[in-house]
């Protein structure tokens, strides 16, 4: 596909470098931008400049933040003795959206995955251990995805923390709310029977 403008081509190159966006989609997006007001497009460009200029990682939990400490770590009304360990910032937002958690977070920045060349040293695990050693943390919730990589990472962190006085918990696994039972996979259904709980009306 020959592009009649070098500036158009450069913008298409940039968009098609994003994950999941091919050249045809990139072209569609850029042509859409060209139909907008130039000031709108400049605002788009400015938002990217300001993004890399201003966004940083919270030095306590490694969540994204506009300041050195994120709004969750700075909040005195949150329970700073309960730390929820998650893979990434999307997980923080997903758990926050449930409004069921009042503790604080620790964002690993990934998950142990030998296939992708990601080992424990690439993740914020040592900083988690340091947080625990600094004291005042009573519970660590391992809220990682129930996949092989997630389980591996949970086990690794568990071993790094196990010799301390600390409650280490993990998310409940079982059938999903509103799922049809006969569509639930065997592993999940089997686990939900083993982990059955007293019925409360």
Q: Which residues bind a copy of itself (CB under 8 A)?
A: 1-8, 10-11, 13-14, 18-21, 25, 27-34, 38, 41-55, 63-66, 70-72, 88-90, 92-94, 96-97
CB 138: neighbour CB atoms within 10 A? 15
Nearer to a copy of itself among residue 10 and residue 167 (C-beta): 10
| DSSP structural state of residue 195 | T
* Helix 148-161 / helix 126-133 crossing angle, nearest 10 deg: 40
CB of 5 to a copy of itself, least distance (A): 5
Helix (H) / strand (E) element for 142: namely: strand 139-142
Nearer to a copy of itself among residue 36 and residue 173 (C-beta): 36
CB of 55 to a copy of itself, least distance (A): 5
Nearer to a copy of itself among residue 93 and residue 176 (C-beta): 93
CB of 144 to a copy of itself, least distance (A): 18
Nearest to 168 by CA among 193, 144, 187: 144
CA distance 128 to 73: 14
Nearer to a copy of itself among residue 95 and residue 161 (C-beta): 95
Tell me the two tokens of residue 186. 């065997």
Nearer to a copy of itself among residue 51 and residue 115 (C-beta): 51
For residue 199, what are the CA distances in angstroms to 171, 185, 196?
19, 23, 9
CB of 112 to a copy of itself, least distance (A): 18
């Amino acid at each position: 596909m020959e592009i009649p403008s070098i500036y158009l081509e450069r913008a298409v190159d940039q968009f098609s470098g994003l994950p999941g966006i091919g050249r045809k989609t990139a072209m569609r997006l850029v042509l859409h931008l060209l139909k907008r007001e130039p000031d709108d497009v400049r605002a788009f460009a400015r938002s990217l400049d300001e993004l890399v200029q201003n966004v940083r990682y919270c030095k306590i939990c490694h969540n994204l933040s506009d300041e050195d400490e994120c709004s969750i770590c700075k909040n005195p009304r949150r329970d700073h003795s309960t730390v929820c360990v998650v893979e990434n910032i999307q997980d923080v937002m997903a758990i926050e959206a449930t409004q069921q958690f009042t503790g604080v977070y620790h964002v690993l920045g990934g998950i142990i995955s030998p296939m992708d060349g990601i080992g424990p040293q690439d993740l914020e695990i040592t900083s988690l251990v340091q947080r625990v050693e600094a004291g005042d943390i009573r519970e660590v919730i391992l809220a990682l995805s129930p996949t092989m990589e997630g389980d591996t990472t949970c086990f690794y962190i568990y071993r790094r923390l196990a010799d301390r006085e600390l409650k280490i918990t993990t998310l409940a696994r079982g059938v999903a709310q509103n799922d049809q039972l006969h569509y639930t996979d065997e592993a999940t259904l089997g686990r939900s029977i083993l982990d059955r709980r007293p019925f409360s009306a």
